[in-house]
Amino acid sequence: MSTPNQISPDELPRADFASIPRYSAGAAPEIDLGDNTNQWGAPPAASAVLREGLDVSRYPDMYGDSLKRTIAKMSGFGPECVVTGNGSDDVLDCVIRAFASPGDTVAHPDPTFVMVPVFSRINGITPVAVPLAADFSMDADALLRTNARIIYLCSPNNPTATPTNVETIRRIIACARGLVIIDEAYVDFTGLSGFLSEAPGLERVVVCRTLSKAYGLAGLRVGYGAASAKIIEIVEKSRGPFKLNIMAERAAVEALTTDSAWVTARVRDAVQNRDRLAGELRVLGLPPLPSVTNFLLVPTPRAFEFARSLRASGIGIRAFRALTGIGDAFRITAGPWPVMERALAALQTALRSAT
Ligand SMILES: *Cc1c(COP(=O)(O)O)cnc(C)c1O
């Protein structure tokens, strides 16, 4: 039954949502080398928290206060300079929403983290893609020329795995018209300290990090951002209370403190196996881009064919279509060597089959 003044069901949603796809990367296979998670599993002290459990009849801290204090102490600034989120995806979404209005623009390198244009569009903000230079470095001049309200940088960059030059980042920070987001999801694998500690002293910078990659807690959804207290106050308005659940907050504190030696050791393993995997891929005639992360990007016109045939052996890799300046490519996460051997054997089988 409907009365004449009612909106038709087709017109109930926001009009611009019609052209926004529902993000999906397919179901996770038995071995998932598609999304750069920790292939050694979750760290032990964090896992123990989850096994022991907590009283979930209570609400968590409104803004993840114990995690904010932990990060602040590790980084040498106050907890008022930290925002926590339901994954760093959530932090990115909240920052974009709070610092750009519908109709504004967010400039980002291309290719980069696929969620950035998605979060821009669901907030009514226009993403502006700026191609990477031929050597996969970020084009500071072109990013600055967009005059965007927000410039997003990924350091190191996903999905290319390549580093982002520190001087390029500094130049963008110095000259950007609006806010600069530096996404350091893979900084742990670089051996460099990144911009986290500096962020609170900069007036228009937010540095984002995640516990989903090196820290092995992707399923718990924990991320954070660091910035000046003035910026964080605004991001927390956009975030709202209770985003981080009570179990995730406690496990994240353990992962960052008690588990830190475990994490460092797994990072070392990942880097070592990444280089070994890169060598084997080169032997197969599939040279990857140079990587400073826990994954490799391998440009090949057969990327989707390889992804399909590895999936048939229970191994997930991520295929990308027509990446700007690169073409089709697949991304593969570094893990324990026996897993890498399985992936390499499946790739060899796929290579031997006709194109
Ligand atoms: C994985 C990833 C994230 C998101 O991590 P979550 O904390 O799991 O939401 C953010 N940025 C980049 C570049 C990533 O690769």
Q: Which of 208, 224, 256 is the last residue of a domain?
A: 256
List, for residues 103-142, the tens digit of each pLDDT value. Answer: 999 999 999 999 999 999 999 999 999 999 999 999 999 9
Distance from C-alpha of 301 to C-alpha of 298, rounded to nearest angstrom: 10
Instruction: Mark whether 180 and 81 lie in a shared domain.
Output: yes
Of 36, 67, 88, 119, best ligand 1 pocket probe by most atoms within 8 Å of the beta carbon: 88
- Overall pTM surpassing 0.85 (yes/no): yes
Domain interval for residue 306: 27-40+261-353
Instruction: Mark whether 32 and 129 lie in a shared domain.
Output: no
Instruction: Mark whether 92 and 176 lie in a shared domain.
Output: yes
Of 23, 33, 92, 183, best ligand 1 pocket probe by most atoms within 8 Å of the beta carbon: 183
Count of domains for the chain: 2
Instruction: Mark whether 277 and 181 lie in a shared domain.
Output: no
Q: In this structure, what CATH number is given to the domain that contains residue 204?
A: 3.40.640.10
Q: Which of 241, 256, 271 is the last residue of a domain?
A: 256
Q: Which of 235, 256, 277 is the last residue of a domain?
A: 256
For residue 283, is it within any domain?
yes
Asked if pLDDT for residue 1 goes beyond 90, the answer is no
For residue 290, is it within any domain?
yes
Instruction: Mark whether 153 and 271 lie in a shared domain.
Output: no
Asked if pLDDT for residue 56 goes beyond 70, the answer is yes
Distance from C-alpha of 171 to C-alpha of 166, rounded to nearest angstrom: 9
Asked if pLDDT for residue 19 goes beyond 90, the answer is no
Nearest to 92 by CA among 203, 187, 183: 183
Q: Does any ligand 1 atom lie closer than 6 A to the CB of residue 112?
A: no
For residue 2, is it within any domain?
no
Whole-number Å distance, alpha carbon 158 to ligand 1 midpoint, is 9
Band (151; pLDDT cuts 50, 70, 90): very high
Instruction: Mark whether 76 and 143 lie in a shared domain.
Output: yes
For residue 20, is it within any domain?
no
Atom of ligand 1 lying closest to residue 210 CA: 7
Whole-number Å distance, alpha carbon 8 to ligand 1 midpoint, is 37
Instruction: Mark whether 174 and 272 lie in a shared domain.
Output: no
Asked if pLDDT for residue 355 goes beyond 80, the answer is no
Q: What is the pLDDT of residue 95?
A: 98
Instruction: Mark whether 97 and 191 lie in a shared domain.
Output: yes
Atom of ligand 1 lying closest to residue 113 CA: 13
Band (354; pLDDT cuts 50, 70, 90): low
For residue 12, is it within any domain?
no
Q: Does any ligand 1 atom lie closer than 6 A to the CB of residue 67?
A: no
List, for residues 258-313, the tens digit of each pLDDT value. Answer: 999 999 999 999 999 999 999 999 999 999 999 999 999 999 999 999 999 999 99
Distance from C-alpha of 226 to C-alpha of 83, rounded to nearest angstrom: 6
Of 36, 115, 157, 331, best ligand 1 pocket probe by most atoms within 8 Å of the beta carbon: 115
Whole-number Å distance, alpha carbon 53 to ligand 1 midpoint, is 26
Instruction: Mark whether 148 and 271 lie in a shared domain.
Output: no
Instruction: Mark whether 220 and 90 lie in a shared domain.
Output: yes
Q: What is the pLDDT of residue 124?
A: 95
Band (28; pLDDT cuts 50, 70, 90): confident
Q: What is the pLDDT of residue 24?
A: 79
Instruction: Mark whether 129 and 215 lie in a shared domain.
Output: yes
Sign of the torsion formed by the C-alpha atoms of 235, 237, 238 and 240: positive
Q: Which residue owns the Cα nearest ligand 1 atom 14?
A: 185
As a three-state string, the secondary structure of the chain is: CCCCCCCCHHHCCCHHHHHCCCCCCCCCCCEECCCCCCCCCCCHHHHHHHHHCCCCCCCCCCCCHHHHHHHHHHHCCCHHHEEEECHHHHHHHHHHHHHCCCCCEEEEEECCCCHHHHHHHHCCCEEEEEECCCCCCCCHHHHHHCCCCEEEEECCCCCCCCCCCHHHHHHHHHHCCCEEEEECCCHHHCCCCCCCCCHHHCCCEEEEEECCCCCCCHHHCCEEEECCHHHHHHHHHHHCCCCCCHHHHHHHHHHHCCCHHHHHHHHHHHHHHHHHHHHHHHHCCCCCCCCCCCEEEEECCCHHHHHHHHHHCCEECEEEEEECCCEEEEEEECCCHHHHHHHHHHHHHHHHCCC
For residue 15, is it within any domain?
no
Asked if pLDDT for residue 171 goes beyond 70, the answer is yes
